Amino acid sequence: MEPKELILEKEGPVAVLTLNRPDKMNAISLNMRVDLPLALQQVQEDDDLRALIITGAGRGFCSGADVAVQAARAAGEQTPESRKTILQLTGALILGFEKINKPVIAAVNGIAAGVGLTLALVSDIRIASGQARFSAIWVKRGLIADGGATLLLPLIVGQEKALELAFTGDILDAREAERIGLVSKVVPPEDLMPRAQELAQKIAANPPLSVELVKRVMLEKVRNQLREALFFESYAQGVCRTTQDQKEAVKAFMEKREPVFKGL
């Protein structure tokens, strides 16, 4: 039996959702894109649950989209797409967060890159292990930030810093992420889950209706903008995926060499 790629555990009023592909640094697979929104919906519909922690198994939080999928796309080896997949917005799995009004805490234990960074950004509170790393790595793959990151990253760290990160794909360590406001606190690796649980339990002790309504009111404007951002990102990502530079980026990554970009 294949191990589950997502593990949802319930501990009293707190749920813990673990991305479980440690051998791939929890890169997002096609199955995870379907199952993640379903897990979020399950948490929302369970009245016994009052908060959710998202973390990763092993050494990584989430290293981004599965590069094997990107390589197949770049090589033209994908299985034929259906009408549904053609029309689906890029980063559509993030829309699952629109429907969860319970607080979501990202316990970032390792690398959070690409869509992994987006998962952290779309969470309500981010706590990082001292071993955490963050990167808007899309540009290194010949792509643009997606999953709503073009909206969320500037909101959290400011426009100028967001542009710098998106232009360079630089990797930030945990302390720099804390300095720029990307995470609220940094803790030793062994303290990450206890501190996340402590915070989640503290939130869960408050009136659940008040907590959910606070989240709904505070995020209503951002949620309305998020879907719009996904439309623009999907257009731009569609353009990027037709380029030779994008194919070169994936090929170079697979061959473990530096890419040579030609602007084509």
Average pLDDT over residues 177-193: 98
Give dist(CA 134, CA 151) in Å, integer: 17
Q: What is the model's pLDDT at position 82? A: 72
Q: How many other C-beta atoms are found inside a 10 Å radius of the C-beta of residue 71?
A: 15
Query: Which run of H or E residues covers position 210?
Result: helix 208-240
Q: What is the DSSP letter of 137?
A: G
Band the pLDDT of 141: cuts 50, 70, 90.
very high
Average pLDDT over residues 195-207: 98
User: What counts of helices (H) and strands (E) characterise the chain?
Assistant: 10, 9
Q: What is the model's pLDDT at position 61? A: 98
Give dist(CA 103, CA 50) in Å, integer: 7
Q: Percent of the chain having pLDDT more than 70?
A: 94
> Residue 183: which region, alpha, beta or left (left: phi > 0; alpha: psi -120 to 50)?
beta
Place of tokens 């998106």: 166
Average pLDDT over residues 191-215: 98
Which CATH fold would you assign to the domain 6-190?
Answer: 2-enoyl-CoA Hydratase; Chain A, domain 1 (3.90.226)
- Side chain identity, residue 82: S
pLDDT > 70? residue 177 = yes
Give dist(CA 81, CA 259) in Å, integer: 28
pLDDT > 90? residue 240 = yes
Average pLDDT over residues 124-152: 97
Output the six-digit token pair for 4.
Answer: 């589950």
pLDDT > 70? residue 179 = yes
Average pLDDT over residues 209-238: 95
Q: What is the model's pLDDT at position 1? A: 40
> What are the φ and ψ backbone dihedral angles of 53, each rounded to 5 degrees?
-110, 130
- Give CA separation, 68 vs 27, 29, 51, 210, in Å: 10, 9, 33, 43
Question: Per-residue pLDDT tens for 72-91?
Answer: 655 555 555 677 677 778 88
Contact present, 129 and 178 (Cβ < 8 Å): no
pLDDT > 90? residue 69 = no
For residue 188, which of 131, 106, 134, 126 has the smallest C-alpha distance? 131
